[in-house]
A and B are shown apart, each in its own frame.
Chain A
């Protein structure tokens, strides 16, 4: 037996980091399947590429840091970072951009700060933002969802497995297709552009087959898939309800407030919920334990602020989606939030003021 471990408790431990990470990966499955269904094989190619790059980068960094490599690789945290990163980039992104993004996420954001547990920022989101700022066009050119009415109305096309792979690895477009024919703005992007042009929401929604019940066609199903995964994480006690509920609550209440002020100028709250990365961000990204707040009250503050910032950037900011920025901004605030949101310790007065 290991003499190094003699202190109580002597019970068998009930959790393990690698199991937590595997459960997170498992929870991504439904959303990923829906994405593959609507956006083609590029999603899976990106995931595989990102995972390989991330594991290699992690191993390399650990070797350079002279730390044991195997235990860190086996905790699957690099894999989870890679998967989340891959889900946020468009399926047409060239492989070397994925590499750059992953290298930044793993080497700079994670390992330079000390590896798992020590990074103040969410590596996947930092890697994505790094790419977004460096290559704004490539990172916002999404394939259109494979919805036949949409493809027909807009004269767009989707890609086969071979075409996707060729595009990612060589940058070569399939014969006879142009970038315009294979990419489309995301619903969030489209909504903002049209609103900026002075159109009213009723007009916008009537103008195109792009719109579904809540958000964009296809996209809302992706969000539903991730919602399913998020519920699984809640049921498995991998995450608690505090952060997701606060994020979605913050986003919903901010958007509801403005929607009530003018429903023609500000989209319906559910549109925000089911567009872009709101659901993925609420359940999978904002809940990253390392960079999130750790106290219960702190998590509510942290999450609600993320929700409000998402709404603010989507509505008045310069970028189409805002989950990554919102999460990173609140990562900065975590130490302060934690400091001022400590719980009342057992046996301490409920409130000093009450008794005074």
Chain B
């Protein structure tokens, strides 16, 4: 399956294949016949503080503030994060949880801006270069910082901060920049239209990114059902001197060839390592929309405040593509398309294969929203109750990751989380091919998402438990050491008393931190008073401590403390555990707010890379 195969029509570039994949009715002509239209100005913009993978942005405006178009309203927190900018001028009227486009259907903190209709630009940073001809003179770090400050994230749907992806590090030399214009999901045409209408911008972005990652070449992968887009890009290349470094490669239409790993495989023959990222094999992959946004940011100083959105499906009257200010409510786009037509089975954010159902159309368009898909019952019929798996193996035939979906299904259903990992669950990109062909209509992807979530939760819990265990062991060791030291000092003091001539100093030598202090006789009274106060406080704490000790679960295997020796240990314990909770309580409290770490994010990102 994986052998190198066909030459293209022009006989130039060798293309590779990935395993599986499905041919789908592409439905692109519903929405790609007309030009991109500016979305109507909505009265309100709703800007979620988290529109990207990573930490949510921190809000920098208050209710009542006047904001201008392009003004920063929330700044990134941490390396993997992105800022948010006001996409139109207006007044901040609320900062509160609102429904956002998310599979959970839950609300999340958003900044709500009432637009003033004046569309006044704020002060934008100066362009770093007047044109791409000057880009090589720019400092790489400066360009990368501009991309970060402009809030650019992957526009293909995964929305991973682009500045992070464009910083693969010294140890991972990049030779190829893969630009994803495959757009393999049916119905969606916003990348198609972008390539047709803004090919020059995309090329500017490609040129800038080539400079950033020091790659030799860029390959723009376009599926062969978008000949106009490929032609437009080729014409744009001819208009520049990039012909030697940038090539448009037309690839056969086969879902999911627009998956990051799949496209890289098709274009370069290389496979992104399991659990790895493309940089490990010398490739960085970016969406065409991201490239255009990079050009806007670097050459014009404009942050990411707009994107193209396809509104399509037979459930809307006039499917077409819009240039949409981020934060525009989905309902206003639907209304601009003439509203819903007839029966609506579901409204989906994204494509039919990987998109998720929206509970309501009162959610905003975010940086990641490439498509609003209104499906009629005929387009998305209810598959009915799932039947038992008959082990036909069609899922394995179409799996682009070459997994065994039915084995994953059996084990996911049985909640055998170790087993699903044995069958490489985390290499699943959730493309939906398996569920699409399943004759038993089993919602396979749903099972995999469930197993992944469960596995993450378990891993997180395990990490927290390990952490608590380590902390406990360290504390035990310290207590033991302190007890030893205390006894040693007591013995010394007794020896001194026995020897006679001991000054009345109280027992302050029992404390480590006082050992280095001056020992003058005139301060003795003061010291004794302080010491007595400390002792009282310590005793108080130790009683609290004791009640907690009894409440502590046995499974934590905490050895009993001798209640009497609390002077040092109780305060120590309090310092150890500032919330006063037991480790178990602590863990439970911390788990839901724990930010996933970098590795986890990478994994999520690769998992979500379907359209990146």
- How would you classify the secondary structure of chain B's contact residues: helix, strand, loop or mixed? loop
Contacts of B449 in A (CB 8 A): 7
Interface string of B363-406 (1 = CB under 8 A from A): 00000000001010101111111011111111011001111101
A71 interfacial contact with B, CB 8 Å: yes
Compute how far the CA of A15 lies from the CA of B297 in the bound complex, rounded to whole angstroms: 47
Interface residue A253 (Cβ < 8 Å from any Cβ of B): no
A346 touches B443 (CB 8 A): no
Chain B residue, CB-CB nearest to A7 = B446
Contact A346 B383 (CB under 8 A): no
CA distance A11 to B389 in the complex (A): 19
Contacts of B273 in A (CB 8 A): 347-348
Q: Which residue from A2, A5, A346 sits with its C-beta under 8 Å from B402?
A: A346
| In contact, A295 and B443 (Cβ under 8 angstroms) | no
Q: Which residues of A contact B357 (CB under 8 A)?
A: 6, 10
Q: Are B439 and A19 in contact (CB under 8 A)?
A: yes
Question: Whole-angstrom distance between the alpha carbons of A292 and B387 in the complex?
Answer: 19
Main DSSP-derived SS at the A contact region = loop
Rounded to whole Å, the gap between the CB of B94 and the closest CB of chain A is 29
**Known contacts A8-B430, A294-B406, A345-B403; is-contact A115 B388 (Cβ 8 Å):** yes
Q: Which residues of A contact B437 (CB under 8 A)?
A: 13-15
B182 CB, nearest partner CB in chain A, Å? 17
A8-B353 contact in complex given A71-B385, A294-B404, A347-B274, C-beta closer than 8 Å: yes
The residue in A17, A20, A347, A348 that gathers the most chain B C-beta atoms within 10 A of its C-beta is A347
> What is the CB-to-nearest-CB distance from B70 to chain A, in angstroms, rounded to a whole number?
34
Residue of A nearest to B273 (CB): A347
Are B387 and A11 within 8 A (Cβ)?
no
Which chain B residue shows the least CB distance to A4? B385
Contact B353 A11 (CB under 8 A): yes
Considering only CB atoms, which chain B residue lies closest to A14 in the complex? B437
Q: Assess whether B435 is interfacial by the CB under 8 Å rule.
A: yes
**B383 cross-chain contacts in A, Cβ below 8 A:** 5, 13
Which of A4, A12, A294, A347 sits near B381, CB closer than 8 Å?
A: A12
Q: Which of B50-58, B225-233, B344-352 lies at the binding interface? A: B344-352
Q: Indicate if A118 sits at the interface (CB-CB under 8 A).
A: yes
Within the complex, the shortest CB–CB distance from A74 to chain B, in Å, comes to: 9
Cβ B382 vs Cβ A2 within 8 A: yes
- A6 vs B358: C-alpha distance when bound (angstroms): 9
Q: How far is the CA of A320 from the CA of B122 in the complex (A)?
A: 90
Contact residue range for chain A? 35 or more
Enumerate chain B residues within 8 angstroms of A290, measured Cβ to Cβ: 390-391
B512: shortest Cβ distance to chain A, in Å? 54
Q: How far apart are A291's CB and chain B's nearest CB, in angstroms?
A: 8
Residue B464 at the chain A interface, CB threshold 8 Å: no
Q: Known contacts A1-B346, A294-B393; is A13 also within 8 Å of B441 by CB?
A: yes
Cβ of A11 and Cβ of B24 under 8 Å apart? yes
Whole-angstrom distance from the CB of B549 to the nearest CB of chain A?
A: 46
Given contacts A9-B432, A10-B346, A294-B406, contact A117 B389 (CB under 8 A): yes
Known: A9-B354, A11-B352. A1 touches B402 (CB 8 A): no
Question: Whose C-beta in chain A lies nearest to the C-beta of B406?
Answer: A294
Q: Which of A8, A15, A77, A117 contacts B394 (CB 8 A)?
A: A15
Contact mask for chain A residues 9-42; partner B; CB cutoff 8 A; 1 contact, 0 none = 1111111110110000000000000000000000
Residues in B neighbouring A8, C-beta threshold 8 A? 348, 350, 352-356, 430, 432, 435, 445
Within the complex, what minimum Cβ distance (angstroms) separates A123 from chain B?
A: 13
A343 CB, min distance to chain B CBs, angstroms: 5
Asked if A118 and B427 sit within 8 Å, CB to CB, the answer is no
Complex contact A20–B446 (CB within 8 A): no
Interface of B toward A, CB cutoff 8 Å: 18-19, 24, 186, 261, 265, 271-276, 345-346, 348, 350, 352-357, 373, 375, 377, 379-385, 387-394, 396-397, 400-404, 406-407, 423-424, 427, 430, 432, 435-441, 443, 445-446, 449
Could you list some 15 contacts between A and B, CB below 8 A? A6-B357, A7-B446, A7-B449, A8-B355, A11-B432, A11-B436, A13-B381, A15-B437, A17-B439, A115-B388, A117-B390, A345-B401, A345-B424, A346-B19, A348-B273
Q: Using A343-B402, A346-B274 as known contacts, list a sample of 14 further A-B pairs with CB atoms less than 8 Å apart, ordered by residue number in A.
A: A1-B346, A8-B348, A8-B350, A9-B432, A10-B375, A11-B352, A11-B436, A13-B381, A13-B435, A13-B441, A14-B436, A15-B438, A346-B261, A348-B424
